[in-house]
Structure 1
Amino acid sequence: MHTGRRHFVGGLLAAGLIPKPTWADVGSPAYLAAAALPDGRYALCGIDAALDVLFQIPLPGRGHAAAARPTRPEAVAFARRPGTFAIVIDCLTGRATATLTAPEGRHFYGHGAFSADGNWLFTTENDFEAGQGRIGVWDVAAGYLRVAEWSSGGIGPHDIQRLPGTDTLVVANGGIDTHPDSGRVKLNIPTMAPNLAYITDGTVQQIAALPPTLHKNSIRHLAVSTRGQVAFAMQWHGGGDVVALLGTHRRGASSPVLMDAPAEALRAMRGYVGSVAFAPDDRRVAVTSPRGGLVQVYDTQVGHLIESHAVEDASGVARARGGFAVTSGLGSFHRIGAVQQSRQWSGRYTWDNHLIAITSDSA
């Protein structure tokens, strides 16, 4: 949405002529993404299904991911981890309406999720003195007041998602301990223990862990299908070749299922997956590797790699009609579908790690 139109609509809102704004009032964006601008500033952008930028709203620093409030055009933009701030943005007016500051002894991990009714925000955090993961609980109606914190069920929680139609959260506990005094240095690689944790009303209902031989495969990012299947992307911190960088799990199942790929395909990803997303068919899953310059697509029903696409500095990925939309750190958009790949260049934006879909469950 152009700045003038956004101000006009914001004026209507202030006058009470838009009683309950929705995402349609800001142009029905399909995605949110953080970007760096050519002049060195940072922004959160709304992007439509045609991969055109509808709006850009300034951020005080480099962003990582964002969470879209389900019930109104409002987003929370998170700093790149380990960060201590998150900005609440009214996408209708373009104004920052609140700043979330991690309590003393905590830092954010760059991700958050809203409850189904939009009344609560949940943030992944680190209790860095205890070396334990926490989930911050924020009361949205009270102006994003922090009211509680829960155990994340592990160490180093990174991504967090809500299972569709529920308020059960799934958390990617990466297993890696960090401390702000050490920057991004990983403090416990020999003893790291990643897992998926399912949390309802503050209680860890289930933990799904990797086999002991894969304890150095950090579970980092999540995608959830419309049917509640969880895909999790990993980053390898062990020696030698990794045997898998993608897995799936369903709540209640005893253990995760690892997706299969040839050794050379896994080596090409350089042990690093940046983002993960389901296609609209809920069967295909795409993962990106900015280090490997690749997007790989897996068929979760047969459990193995089916496609690989070269995308330099591949960053964010999200579902799109027929397949996937992908962003690049070099400033481009890409479409990966069932038949062909197309691209659209946008020199104004250097896209950060994630492309966040504003799904029907969040609209």
Structure 2
Amino acid sequence: MTTRRGFLASLLAASTLPTLSWADAGSPAFLACAKEADGSYALYGITAGGADTFRIPLPARGHAGAGHPDRPEAVFFARRPGAYALVVDCAIGKVRHRLEPPEGRQFNGHGAFLQEGAILVTSEQMADGSAGRLGIWDADGGYLRIGELSTGGIGPHEVLLMADGRTLAVANGGIRTDATDRTKLNLPDMRPNLAYMTLEDGLVEQVSLQPDLHFNSIRHLATRDDGLLAFAMQWEGPAELAPPLLGLHRRGKPLTLAAAPEGEQVLMQNYAGSIAMNGAGTEIAITSPRGGRVQRFDASGQFIGALARADVCGAATLPDGFLLTDGMGGLLKLSEGRAHPLGLRARAWDNHVVGL
């Protein structure tokens, strides 16, 4: 029989067990999914210098995800429209949980932690009609689903936690899609918008593009500490046009759109696949795997340069620039307009790099 003294001793021992951190997973600065040379898929941890810190096999292609702020734990989503997300213990390479949205919902490839990692929110849409939802999950309680909120738009894609620690920015892409094959069903009438939300109040602010730019689907987001939000877009309108693919916004203000000079703008092929700000918040980069292009803008939206890089898409923040990945296994640092190779792997990096 357990004695009181033995019980208290066991409690003390449990309370002094070490808590795992990202150092136990090799101290990665970034997470990214990739397709291996043999056709399999994996999740990688990557240092700021481009070295691998861990490799964890995945059952299928991953899109993007979210890294827990403290625990060596990552949530990665199946390629949208996805029916599952995996919570991976990156220290031991084990899948801890498999998340599935409620009946009639689909994951849309992105999520974010808030409340110091206690809560996970997931970008979702209704399978019928593509109305946007934010799924709310109790991350500290075993990732139980505890609620959801309307995003106030159609086809939400990325969700991002703002610097205040409570406001979420949501990119409502505006596109209604078929539940099985992602066929776009409403392009003539699509209406993207940028939404700001909190768990307590739901939708607190929403801004839309001007009507003649309603074909510009808002997809991906980046922010800095003073609340400036940058967003990347993908044009679904007439192919011969080359509209701006970068937007900037501050709450309570109108949207500002930013374009490169005409010849350079055309090279993006109307598609921005990812976006990031540099560590100082003075530069914004958008990537185009279709155009093999990285464009750089200052924080006011002025074009400052471009880099040619085949199949480049992943972009993330470095203190003095950007980490970029491409579909041919390349990793490079972009700093002050100059590219510095960090390595070439026998794998195809997927669309996004998740910073920790």
With the length of structure 2 as denominator, give the TM-score of the two structures: 0.93
Per-residue Cα deviation, 1:234-257 (whole angstroms, up to 9, x for no partner) = 00011131320001111222x211
Residue in 1 that maps onto 2:83: 84
* Structure 1 unaligned spans of 5+: 1-13, 359-363
Per-residue Cα deviation, 1:127-154 (whole angstroms, up to 9, x for no partner) = 1214311111111122111111110110
* Structure 2 unaligned spans of 5+: 1-12
Residue in 1 that maps onto 2:6: none
Residue correspondence of structure 1 range 196-275 to structure 2 within 5 A: 196-201=194-199, 202-239=201-238, 240-253=240-253, 255-275=254-274
Residue in 2 that maps onto 1:361: none
Contact 2:313 2:352 in 1 (8 A): yes
Cα distance, 1:104 vs. partner?
1.2
Residues of 2 paired with 1:138 and 1:272: CA distance?
Answer: 32
With the length of structure 1 as denominator, give the TM-score of the two structures: 0.91
Contact 1:132 1:156 in 2 (8 A): yes
SS at match of 1:117: coil
Aligned length: 342
Residue in 1 that maps onto 2:335: 337
Report which of the two has the higher share of strand. Answer: 2
SS at match of 2:153: coil
Residues of 2 paired with 1:20 and 1:304: CA distance?
Answer: 45
Task: Out of 323-332 and 21-30, give the one that drifted further.
Answer: 21-30
- The alignment-based identity, stated in percent, is 47
Residue in 2 that maps onto 1:162: 161
Residue in 2 that maps onto 1:307: 305
Residues of 2 paired with 1:242 and 1:217: CA distance?
Answer: 11
Per-residue Cα deviation, 1:66-94 (whole angstroms, up to 9, x for no partner) = 10111211100111111111000011111
Residue in 2 that maps onto 1:5: none
Residue type of the alignment partner of 1:81: R
Residue type of the alignment partner of 2:250: R
Residue type of the alignment partner of 1:257: T
Contact 2:260 2:303 in 1 (8 A): yes
Residues of 2 paired with 1:16 and 1:113: CA distance?
Answer: 29
Residue type of the alignment partner of 1:224: T
Residues of 1 paired with 2:319 and 2:262: CA distance?
Answer: 30
Per-residue Cα deviation, 1:280-312 (whole angstroms, up to 9, x for no partner) = 1102000110000011101123x2211100110
Structure exhibiting the larger radius of gyration computed from Cα positions: 2
Cα distance, 1:213 vs. partner?
0.8
CA 1:180–1:241 in structure 2 vs 1: closer, same or farther (change >3 Å)? same
Residue in 2 that maps onto 1:189: 187
- Root-mean-square deviation over aligned CA pairs: 1.5
Greater than 3 Å deviation, 4+ residue runs: 14-18
Residue in 1 that maps onto 2:348: 350
Residue in 1 that maps onto 2:7: none
Cα distance, 1:19 vs. partner?
2.4
Residues of 1 paired with 2:344 and 2:169: CA distance?
Answer: 34
Cα distance, 1:25 vs. partner?
2.4
Residue in 2 that maps onto 1:97: 96
Per-residue Cα deviation, 1:192-248 (whole angstroms, up to 9, x for no partner) = 000110001251000011111100000000111132211100000111313200011
